[in-house]
Amino acid sequence: MAKQPSINTNDTKTLKRLRELASNVVEAAAKKRDPHVDIPTRSLSNVKYNKTRRFIEMGSNTNRRQLFNLSQAKSYMQTMLVASGATQLIEQGKTTSIRGLYYLLKHTIEGTKEETFADQGECDPVIEDCEVLLNSLREELHLYAQKRGEMVGEIVIADSGDEIDCARMGSGGYGIPSIVEPSVIEFRKCNAKFILHVEKDTVWQRFNEDKFWRKHKCILTHGSGQPPRGVRRMLHRLHNELKLPVYCLLDNDPWGYYIYSVIKQGSINLAYESQRMAIPDAKFLGLRSKDFKECQLSDSVKINLNDTDRKRAKQIMGYPWFAHKKEWQKEIKLLLDNGFKLEVEALISKDISYVTEQYTPARLKAKDWLD
């Protein structure tokens, strides 16, 4: 992140919103009224599935947060602190991680023994609140999340001006930063025809070691489980700007389904970012509930479903974007009927490179995926 972001038009827009927020407080105080903010609700109750755009959108519900309310006073104060922290960052042309911001704002409240933020877990949701409140993206507040997720494959990019050939990343891969906006990341040259996104690092290693991406002319990514925003935004840009289809290889369990759902439709928590993150055309390559039989896996790879798994599976079955898809209903029902789940690594029990040499190529060739 060597590049010094100057106060550009985007920043001016964000600063304007921040100052509006502040002057609302001054105004309320002058009129002897309760200062408050109305924060768009970030929960399932306030998301809608937009059938035409095929992703989750945020509804119009808001939650009022007041300074003079016993249960809200502290989070109100924290909201203002985050806003002032973001203002500082923008004015100084600096960015920091959400952890950095937490440390920037954490101190003991004067005359008490109380900390402004007890831990980072208390700060993170307030940052998300500020994003929706200010209708600004995290990057626009000059914040980034801890990066997790890597990429390798037939593409050359420029990161803050440095050219990076993703085909020459050795065994490690290119760490996808949390801010991948065009101002930071440019696509220079691309030979890839598709993107294979896998759930976690271990599987990704397998594919990288077998140089799957070279053989099949693709980009290989992972997001350490639920992919962070940087990864999702990167996939989104690659998909939209370079017209690369996205195939996901995830575990055969409710969590795998959920990750797919987030990549495809957007997340409930960050529904306001769906527009720039969701990839409605992403395909679910596997693992599938039928694979245990089809691939003739041994009993030892089965992991029994527990109660939460079953509950989650049923919940996902009911998501409006899955509810009308017969194939998906069948898939999840089969998972429940099986009574067990499978990790992608289960395929290794057949052969170390079964997943890279047989399973994935075969599925791609047969176009055997779920949509």
Partner 1 sequence: MAASSPSPVEIIPPPSSNGSSRHSAEGNGSPSKARRRATAQSMAAGQRDISVSEFFAKNRHLLGFDNPRKALLTTVKEAVDNALDACEEAGILPEIWVHIQRVGQDRYKVGVQDNGPGIVKKQIPLIFGKLLYGSKFHRMRMSRGQQGIGISAAGMHGLLTTGKPVKIISKVSKREPAHYYEIQIDTKRNVPEILNGRGEGVEVPPNHEGQKAIQKHGIEWIELDHGTRVTIELEARYQRGRGSVDEYLEQTAIANPHVAIHYTDPDDNSRDYQRVTDQLPPEPKEIKPHPYGVELGRLVTMLNDAKEPTIAQFLIGSFSRVSPSIARKLCETIKITTRANPKKIGRHEADLLYQAIQKTKIPAPSTDCIAPIGEELILKGLRQVVPGEFYAAATRPPAVYRGNPFQIEVGLCWGGVSPAQRVSREGLSEMLEESDARTLRQFLITTFQGLGADAADKILAAANVGIRVSPGRLKAAEIDHLHEALQNVNVSEGQSMNVFRYANRVPLQFQAGACAITQTVMQTNWRAYGLSQSRGSLPSGPITLMIHMASVWVPFTNESKEAVACYPEIQKELRLALQAVGRKLGMFLRRRLRVRHEGERRNLFLRYIGEVATAVSRINQADRKKLYDQLMEVAKKRTAEADVELDDRGKPIEEDAVDFGEHVIIVSHEEQKTAETAKNGTA
Residues in contact with partner 1 by the rule CB under 8 A: 18-19, 21-23, 25-26, 28-30, 32-35, 67-68, 70, 73-74, 76-77, 80-81, 83-84, 87-88, 109-112, 114, 116
Helix (H, G, I), strand (E, B) or coil at 204: helix
- Tokens standing for 211? 């140089």
Query: Which residue, 21 or 278, has its beta carbon nearer to partner 1?
Result: 21
- Catalytic residue (choose from 49, 76, 103, 174): 103
CA angle 367, 370, 371 (to 5 degrees): 105
- Tokens standing for 257? 């389904």
What does R_g of the chain's alpha carbons equal in angstroms? 23
- The region, left, alpha or beta by phi > 0 then psi within -120 to 50, assigned to residue 149 is left
- Tokens standing for 362? 């075969």
Query: Which residue, 95 or 178, has its beta carbon nearer to partner 1?
Result: 95
Give min distance, CB of 135 to partner 1, in A.
16
Element (H, E) at 248: strand 246-249
Query: Which residue, 19 or 217, has its beta carbon nearer to partner 1?
Result: 19
Clarify whether 272 is annotated catalytic. no
Number of Cβ within a 10 Å radius of residue 190: 19
Give min distance, CB of 197 to partner 1, in A.
39
Give min distance, CB of 20 to partner 1, in A.
9
Measured over the CA atoms of residue 217, residue 219, residue 224 and residue 227, the dihedral's sign is negative
Number of Cβ within a 10 Å radius of residue 278: 26
Give min distance, CB of 288 to partner 1, in A.
51
Catalytic residues, which ones?
A: 103
